[in-house]
């Protein structure tokens, strides 16, 4: 799994012109799921996301986690994170998981993050044409690949 984590002052996702979900202070996360991903990736990434110290403390040092600041999460599925651009100019998405694998893993990640945060999280809609808005706070953007955790 690959996630792009962006510290947000606010973020929202629209589908068919209607806001599906929005957050204030928190994390807007894009998640790409590949065929080889499983529960171990979800568990490791969720723990990392919830405890990542990227929010400022009273001295403006990034020393607080999402949990510490009682932040929110907006989680958006994005298969294009697994794009391969090695050959030619048209990306290949062969590593991205098919919906029958990706949807259950995405839903499990939603549940795992919500449980760890102690409140529901905002989501997009798997496979939908979404319009995502973000006020990136900092800006702070971090890329994490669960296959590079060793």
**What whole-number distance in Å separates Cα of residue 42 and Cα of residue 7?**
20
Our answer to whether residue 85 is catalytic in this structure is no
Q: Is the dihedral of CA 123, 23, 70, 1 positive or negative?
A: positive
Give how far Cα 82 sits from Cα of 3, 24, 50, 76, Å: 10, 28, 23, 14
Active-site residue, from 80, 85, 112, 123: 80
CATH topology of domain 2-148: 3.50.80
Summarize pLDDT for 66-108 with one digit per residue, the tens: 999 999 999 999 999 988 888 889 998 988 999 999 999 999 9
Query: Would you state the pLDDT for residue 116?
Result: 97
Give the gyration radius of the chain's Cα atoms: 15
What are 108-145's pLDDT values in tens digits? 999 999 999 999 999 999 889 999 999 999 999 999 99
Q: Where are the domains of the chain?
A: 2-148
Note whether 31 and 3 are within 8 A (CB): yes
pTM here is: 0.94
Asked if residue 139 has a cis previous peptide bond (ω within 30° of 0), the answer is yes
Report the first-to-last Cα separation within the chain, whole angstroms: 14
3-state class (DSSP) for residue 147: helix
The string of pLDDT tens digits covering residues 4-14 is 999 999 999 99
């Amino acid at each position: 799994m690959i996630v792009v984590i962006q510290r947000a002052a606010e973020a929202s996702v629209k589908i068919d012109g209607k806001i599906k979900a929005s957050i204030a202070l928190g994390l807007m996360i894009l998640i790409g799921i590949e065929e080889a991903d499983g529960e171990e990736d979800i568990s490791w990434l969720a723990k990392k996301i919830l405890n990542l110290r990227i929010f400022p403390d009273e001295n403006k040092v990034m020393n607080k986690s999402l949990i510490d600041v009682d932040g929110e999460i907006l989680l958006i599925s994005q298969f294009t994170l697994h794009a391969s651009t090695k050959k030619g100019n048209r990306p290949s998405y062969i590593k991205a998981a098919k919906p029958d694998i990706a949807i259950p893993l995405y839903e499990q990640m939603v549940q795992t993050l919500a449980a760890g945060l102690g409140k529901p999280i905002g989501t997009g809609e798997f496979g939908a044409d979404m319009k995502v808005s973000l006020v990136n706070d900092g800006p702070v953007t971090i890329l994490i690949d669960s296959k590079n955790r060793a």
